Amino acid sequence: MTDTLRPDPDDLLARIATEEARRSRGRLKVFLGAAAGVGKTYAMLEAAQARRAAGVDVVVGWAEPHGRAETEALLEGLDTVPPRPIVHRGVALRELDLDMVLARRPALVVVDELAHSNAPGSRHAKRWQDVEELLDAGIDVYTTLNIQHVESLNDVVAQITGVVTRETVPDTLLEDADEITLVDLPPDDLLRRLREGKVYVPARAETAMERFFRPGNLMALRELALRRTADRVDAQMRDYRRDHAIRQAWPATDRVLVCISANPLAPRLVRAGHRLAQRLGAPWVVLHVEVSRYAPEAESARNQVAQALRLGERLGAEAVTLEGDDAATQILDYARLRNASQIVLGKPARPRWRELAFGSIVDDVVRGSGAIDVHVITGEPGDDVPAAMPLRLVPTSRWPGYLRSVGVVAAATLAASLAFGRLAEANLVMVYLLAVVVVARREGRGPSTLAAVLSVAAFDFFFVAPHLTFSVADTEYLVMFAVMLVVGLVVSTLTTRLRRQADSARSRERRTAALYGLSRDLARLRGLDALIDASVRHVSGVFGRGAAVLLRGTDGRPAVRAARPAPFDLPPDELAVAAWVLERGRPAGTGTETLPGASALYLPLTTGERVVGVLAVRPERAADVQSPEPLNLLEAFASLTAQAVARAEAADEAARARVEAEGERLRGTLLGSISHDLRTPLAAIAGSAETLLSDGEAIDAATRRELVAAIHHQAQHLGRLVANLLDMSRLESGGVDLRCEPQSMEEIVGAALARLEALLGTTPVSVAIPADLPLVPCDAILVEQVVFNLIENALKHTPHGTAIDVAAHATPDALVIEVSDRGPGLPAGAAERVFEKFYRGRSGAMPAGAGLGLAICRAIVEAHGGWITAAGRAGGGAVFAFALPLDRAGEPTP
């Protein structure tokens, strides 16, 4: 056996594309350690100094020596980019100056502490994002990382140390690193460095040794770092073997492959493989090969395979099912693909003569294993091992198929008889071979074998002299019969195999199409209800009578959220099964070993360590979800559904967080906006009242009247402010009912001006309302408030004594009212913002309010089906216009 073969062209193309992408990207080298103080920064700076000595342009973007003299000494001679100062909440902070490094563009930059969180105001939130930008710019990066900052290990580290690490780095960044250097230090040496003050200051070191830096924690973190580095090296070795098309396994690390079939010994093989993997401390795989020319004896045999695969998964194995024509070849190819060092097989139980006649999988695997160790496990004396091979030839058809094969041979005989005497005997043989192909294509192996035998017999009986007898005058015909039979059987076998492969391909296509359809719908739809409804629709369409998704209710128990067909009735005992699955995160129900008497199969919808719900499926038959293929497909459906549910819940949570944040922002804006408006009139009222109380007898009547008028004026101001707040609250909550009746706009404007008489004082107001304006259907009180707010707004932002113009005119479908002033006008880009809540512009003759008046105007006008705009006025100032539809069934055109 050769150790290498021609590389796969697709792999070569993919490799070339990857190399092309990497060529323009910088190289990343990560110095990985188990904890702080193992010497990562020291090792990184040593490597940087070596590169500088080799003539490479090296720059220190960020280094944290932590006051260690030996580390600071390694910075000498290296060009250092000054840190970028950032002031946050009055505190001066320093961060990596990313722009300066990019402008300097060195060949190699040193960036310490990859998991660091940047200060607010930086371009990126995390330092690893800075590193990615440097790599994209083609700059090589040296960086450091502690194992507890790897995102996928966050929960594991928290469970070991009791400390939740907030700063994490995505696993993809570590997986894409060009090189990982493990900086290792035994726990005793690290604790000694800690006591000597070489890691933290003494006071902090004592606290660290009592909490995070306990010997057990350090040993566990060290193992995690070693395993992570070993996994990376193993992945690199697999890539090398794939790139160089090396088939021979390299047992640099152990991996156990347990091969099972439909045999009572399968669970024993799985347990033996588990013990072997535990002794070796190695990952392991349980493999079942479905051979195209064989199939399990019956449904019970398929259940044996499914139970053995599930047993392996419970014991921590990876369960894999393959299809192929030769089990030994499939086993060896997969073992080399996964770089397995150990193969576990069961001892053959069939007679020796059958092994000599049909071959032995064990012998073929042993002969072809090469450097892979093969373990053959025998059964116990009491094991119920069948005397024959556990796989048998499949009876592909029932008796109607055999009858149809007889009919096809009879039809071929009739056709040959019509051509007899006109065609040579060899051509008649072709007619019979065509019949064999037809039977094999439609009926399978058994009927096609019968057709081959009947074809030889019919040809001999009808077309070989002496005719109508099985006697043969010329012995050379015996050779023809033998060749005809062999060719017929070979054609039958090949045709049947092609048919099985086509059926298998169609089955895989259906599974792929089902998964694609579900994933496409889940990616397209939005909202939790739409997502789970799509999932239930696809699952019920594939697996039978019904399916449902149960999510955790407000009481913590599962409740049906979507079902097909609806209603999906679950009695209390079935809900108890779903609750068990929701709490334990393991499958239960029909077809499983847990509560198998249930009417449905319940699968947990798991994302990471969290169970978000339960998928319930009622198959037509329990066997439909017990074999590996449908069970794997169902688990894939459950996985996609769980991810969709988690994504929808995360989106809902983010939306709630945004709403809460917006509410907090609005609350803060409201308090900030009205606090001054409340304090000012209250202070004036309190001051005037205090003056009246303390000096009331000594104050003359005129002064006393001024103080009372001031109290009255400020109380009115407070009343308007509170009224605006209440109006805005009612409008936003939909608590205002419009009482629309035909109204005269002249009367509405007059009422608003009457209310504003005290505020207007000597400010001139010009009113231009034609007498022939049509009546407009509206709520007079609310529209009067709109006019009031617009004139008051113009008064606030207009210099004292400047005229305010109010005009109205009719369009074919609306009545338009305009309020114009000669104030400073609108700031650039403020035409829409002025109608936002709490927006306040520059004040003029009066102090600005809380910023609610114009927002109330827009809410009222839009409630009437109208529009409101703000624009600059020719010659200076602003124009606010709003329109009310003359016909309440339509909307006015702006």
The residue type at 425: E
Residue 818 has pLDDT above 80, yes or no: yes
The CA-based angle 199-202-205, given to 5 degrees, is 55
Q: Which two structure tokens, joined as six digits, stand for 97?
A: 């100056």
State how far the Cα of 616 lies from the Cα of 848, in Å rounded to an integer. 62
Q: Residue 525: is its pLDDT beyond 70?
A: yes
Q: Tokens representing 228?
A: 């992570």
Residue 858: its pLDDT value, please? 87
pLDDT at 757: 83
Sheet of 878-885: strands edge to edge? 765-768, 804-810, 814-820, 878-885, 867-872
Q: In this structure, is the dihedral angle defined by the CA atoms of residues 860, 862, 863 and 865, taken in order, positive or negative?
A: positive
Within 8 A by CB and 6+ apart from 696, the residues are 704
Percent of the chain past pLDDT 90, that is, above it, reads 14
If you average pLDDT over residues 810-816, what whole number do you get? 91
pLDDT at 865 over 60: yes
pLDDT digits (tens, 9 = 90+) for 616-666: 988 877 666 666 677 778 888 888 898 888 888 888 887 777 777 766 666
Beta-carbon contacts of 502 under 8 Å, excluding residues fewer than 6 positions away, are none
Best mean pLDDT range from 194-203, 227-236, 668-677, 704-713: 704-713
Asked whether the predicted pLDDT for residue 292 surpasses 80, the reply is: no
Amino acid 673: pLDDT: 54
Taking the C-alpha atoms of residue 572 and residue 569, their distance in angstroms, rounded to an integer, is 10
Asked if residue 517 lies in contact with residue 538, where contact means CB atoms within 8 angstroms, the answer is yes
Predicted pLDDT of residue 827:
82
User: What's the full length of the chain, in residues?
Assistant: 894
Task: Name the nearest CA neighbour of 323 among 355, 347, 294.
Answer: 294
- Whether the CB-CB separation of 497 and 325 falls below 8 Å is answered with yes
| Measured distance CA(528)–CA(546) in Å, rounded | 20
pLDDT interval class at 4 (50, 70, 90):
very low
Sequence-separated (6 or more) residues with CB below 8 Å from residue 15: 243
pLDDT tens-digit series, residues 40-89: 898 999 999 999 999 999 999 999 887 778 888 888 888 999 998 887 77
Smallest CA-to-CA distance from 141 within 175, 106, 96, 109 is with 109
Which helix (H) or strand (E) is 29 found in, with range? Answer: strand 28-33
CB burial readout 367-384, b (16+ within 10 A) else e? ebbeebebeebebeeeee
- What pLDDT digit, counting tens, does each position of 184-237 carry? 888 888 888 777 766 765 656 666 666 677 787 888 888 888 888 877 777 776
| pLDDT on residue 833 | 81
3-state secondary structure of 848: coil
Cis peptide before 565 (omega within 30 of 0): yes
The answer to whether residues 825 and 872 touch, using CB atoms and an 8 Å cutoff, is yes
Nearest to 462 by CA among 431, 486, 439, 441: 431
Structure tokens at 218: 């350090």
Taking residues 585-605, report their average pLDDT: 84
The pLDDT of residue 396 is: 45
SS (H, E, C) 75-142: CCCCEECCCEEEEECCEEEEECCHHHHHHHCCCEEEECCCCCECCCCCCCCEHHHHHHHHHHCCCEEE
Per residue, the 3-state secondary structure of 378-403, as one string, reads CCCCCCCCCCCCCEEECCCCCHHHHH
For 441-487, the pLDDT digits (tens) are 777 777 878 888 888 888 778 887 777 777 777 767 777 778 777 87
Q: Please give the model's pTM, rounded to 2 decimal places.
A: 0.48
Q: Provide, for the chain, the percentages of residues in helix, strand and coil under a 3-state DSSP scheme, each rounded to the nearest 5.
A: 50, 15, 30
Q: What are phi and psi of 528, to 5 degrees?
A: -60, -45
Q: List the structure tokens of 555.
A: 């009481």
Q: Phi/psi of residue 603, each to 5°?
A: -115, 135
Of 120-129, 336-345, 436-445, the one with minimum mean pLDDT is: 436-445
Choose between 167 and 506: higher pLDDT: 167
Residue of 249 and 386 predicted with greater confidence: 249
Helix (H, G, I), strand (E, B) or coil at 61: strand
Which residues are registered as beta bridge partners of 91?
88
CB atoms within 10 A of CB 10: 8
Judged on CB neighbours under 10 Å (0-12, 13-18, 19+), 615 is buried
Beta bridge partners of 375: 344
From the list 818, 835, 823, the residue with the least C-alpha distance to 768 is: 818
Which tokens sit at 300? 């019970």
Give the residue with greater pLDDT, 707 vs 808: 808
Asked whether residue 531 carries a pLDDT value surpassing 50, the answer given is yes
Q: Of the candidates 266, 290, 296, which has an alpha carbon nearest to the alpha carbon of residue 390?
A: 296
- For 261, phi then psi, to 5°, come to -140, -175
Q: At residue 507, what are phi and psi to the nearest 5 degrees?
A: -65, -45
Burial of 277 (0-12, 13-18, 19+ CB in 10 A): buried
CB atoms within 10 A of CB 499: 19
- Region of 544 on the Ramachandran plot (φ > 0 left; ψ -120 to 50 alpha; else beta): left
d(CA 193, CA 200): 9
pLDDT(253) > 80: no
How confident is residue 394, by pLDDT bands cut at 50, 70 and 90?
A: very low
Q: Which helix (H) or strand (E) holds 789?
A: helix 780-796
Q: What is the pLDDT of residue 262?
A: 80
CB 49 within 8 A of CB 41: no
354 token code pair: 């059958």
* Mean pLDDT of all residues in 549-561: 87
- The rounded Cα 688 to chain-centroid distance in angstroms is 65
Beta bridge partners of 372: none
Q: Which residues pair with 606 in a beta bridge?
A: 611
Average pLDDT, the chain: 79
Q: Which of 408, 409, 389, 402 is nearest to 293 (CA)?
A: 389
Does residue 358 carry a pLDDT above 80? no
pLDDT over 80 at 591, yes or no: no
- Residue/partner pairs of 199-208 with CB below 8 Å, 24 or more apart: 199/36, 199/37, 199/66, 200/37
pLDDT of amino acid 768: 92
Q: Which residue in 479, 500, 260, 486 sits closest to 390, CA to CA?
A: 260
Cα–Cα distance for residue pair 158/152, rounded to 1 Å = 11
For 708-777, the three-class secondary structure string (H helix, E strand, C coil) is HHHHHHHHHHHHHHHHHHHHHHHHHHCCCCCCCEEECHHHHHHHHHHHCHHHHCCCCEEEECCCCCCCEE
Is the separation of the CB atoms in 496 and 445 below 8 Å?
yes
Give me the sign of the Cα torsion angle 683, 689, 693, 697.
Answer: positive
Distance CA 163, CA 154 (A): 10
Q: 552 exposed, middle or buried (CB, 10 Å; 0-12, 13-18, 19+)?
A: middle
Q: Indicate if the pLDDT at residue 143 is higher than 60.
A: yes
Model confidence at 380, in pLDDT bands (50, 70, 90)?
very low
Residues above pLDDT 70, as percent of the chain:
81
User: Tens of pLDDT along 475-522?
Assistant: 677 777 787 778 777 777 777 777 777 777 777 777 778 888 888 888
